[in-house]
């Protein structure tokens, strides 16, 4: 006679426990996140957009110096040095620093998936080391929480990659996000104030271009890595667009304010002209400040997205079937055997 549970109900057969969410396969990752692109074309456009920003900024600085020369020759010679220093330290240096930073590899397929995972692991360790070193050498900057940096140091010393990833993700989600927003806000307010007071379309354009490049550099150094080349190309394109918008906004905002308030301002006379100038300058400053917020948030969004993608890729089990490595091993073995065979023939 079969045993039954109380109330004559049949015994319940336990179902296997849920082993957790199904991990994404490489094929699924490729279909969802990998987007083939022409690397040479992307690098070419990257250089073109970065160079175009430099040309625009340099031209504006040159025109400003020439304008000063027209007013006073001695002052013109004096203005050369600040213009050159501004171009070198606020454009060239940030551009070089950004180019030297490494990025995560997240656009992968069967050929480079294994290499990408190894590269990304080394990147995480390098970022952790930079954060630990930065926190030890600086005071009162407040980029990263000291307690979490301590946890990161322990994870590095114990070679606990899982803990390192967990702490690093927490730092990015909390400390870095907050610090990046603060950095963007400060830069945007400065640009808004400077361009509101400059009363020069050329100076406005130079300020927006130079501060945008420095903001990108600061955000990238805060995160410890740069966006991939396709994303960086888009960021430089946005900087170029913003610099050109700043140039047009200087004339258009003043003209728009004058046209809108012309009737009222005419009745106020000299006071009306002063009010019109203040309103026009303020609106121009707001536009330029917003432009900086846009490019800063774009850079932050790309960095956050690519960190998320490398985290997903790291969870994919690629197994031992590494086609690229096998092909490389076969190639080397064939070359070695061929060389040995030829030596024996001699």
Q: What is the pLDDT of residues 308-332, one digit of tens each?
A: 999 999 999 887 555 556 666 677 7
3-state secondary structure of 274: helix
Could you read off the pLDDT of 31-42 as tens digits, one per residue? Answer: 999 999 999 999
Q: What is the pLDDT of residue 327?
A: 62
pLDDT band at 1 (very low <50, low <70, confident <90, very high): very low
d(CA 78, CA 84): 11
Across the range 149-172, mean pLDDT stands at 96
User: What single DSSP character describes residue 110?
Assistant: T
The CB density around residue 115, as the number of other CB atoms within 10 Å, is 14
d(CA 164, CA 224): 15
- Residue 45 CA to residue 52 CA, distance in Å, equals 10
Average pLDDT rounded to a whole number, residues 94-105: 97
Whether the pLDDT of residue 187 is over 60: the answer is yes
Distances (CA, A) of 239 to 97, 295, 315, 342: 17, 7, 35, 58
Contacts of 67 (CB under 8 A, 6+ apart): 202
Residue 185 has pLDDT above 50, yes or no: yes
Dist. CA 81–CA 87, nearest whole Å: 10
Partners of 5 in beta bridges: 9
What is the Cα–Cα distance from 298 to 303, expressed in whole angstroms? 9
What distance in Å separates the CA atoms of residue 215 and residue 188, rounded to the nearest whole number? 9
Q: What does the pLDDT average to over 236-254?
A: 83
CA nearest 55: which of 206, 246, 251?
A: 206
* Cα 204–chain centre separation: 23
Percent of the chain with pLDDT over 70: 81
pLDDT at 160 over 90: yes
């Amino acid at each position: 006679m079969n045993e039954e549970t109380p109330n004559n109900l049949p015994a319940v057969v336990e179902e296997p426990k849920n082993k957790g969410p199904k991990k994404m396969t490489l094929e699924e990752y490729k279909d969802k996140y990998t987007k083939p692109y022409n690397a040479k074309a992307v690098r070419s456009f990257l250089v073109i957009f970065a160079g175009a920003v430099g040309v625009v900024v340099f031209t504006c600085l040159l025109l400003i110096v020439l304008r000063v020369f027209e007013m006073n020759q001695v002052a013109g010679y004096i203005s050369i040095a600040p213009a050159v220093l501004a171009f070198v330290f606020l454009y060239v240096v940030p551009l070089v620093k950004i180019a030297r930073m490494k990025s995560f590899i997240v656009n992968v397929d069967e050929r480079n998936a294994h290499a990408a995972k190894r590269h990304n692991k080394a990147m995480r360790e390098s970022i952790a080391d930079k954060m630990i070193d930065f926190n030890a050498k600086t005071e009162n900057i407040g980029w990263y929480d000291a307690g979490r940096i301590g946890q990161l140091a322990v994870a590095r010393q114990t070679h606990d990659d899982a803990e390192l990833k967990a702490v690093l993700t927490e730092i990015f989600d909390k400390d870095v996000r907050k610090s990046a927003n603060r950095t963007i806000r400060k830069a945007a307010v400065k640009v808004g104030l400077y361009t509101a007071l400059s009363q020069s379309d050329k100076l406005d354009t130079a300020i927006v271009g130079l501060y945008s490049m420095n903001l990108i550099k600061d955000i990238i150094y805060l995160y410890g890595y740069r966006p991939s080349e396709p994303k960086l190309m888009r960021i430089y394109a946005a900087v170029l667009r913003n610099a050109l918008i700043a140039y047009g906004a200087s004339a258009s905002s003043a003209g728009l304010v004058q046209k809108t308030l012309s009737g009222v301002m005419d009745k106020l006379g000299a006071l009306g002209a002063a009010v019109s100038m203040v309103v026009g300058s303020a609106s121009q400053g707001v536009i330029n400040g917003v432009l900086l917020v846009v490019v800063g948030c774009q850079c932050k969004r790309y960095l956050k997205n690519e960190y998320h993608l490398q985290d997903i890729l790291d969870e994919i089990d690629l197994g031992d079937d590494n086609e690229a490595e096998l092909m490389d091993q076969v190639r080397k073995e064939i070359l070695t055997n061929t060389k040995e065979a030829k030596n024996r023939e001699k």
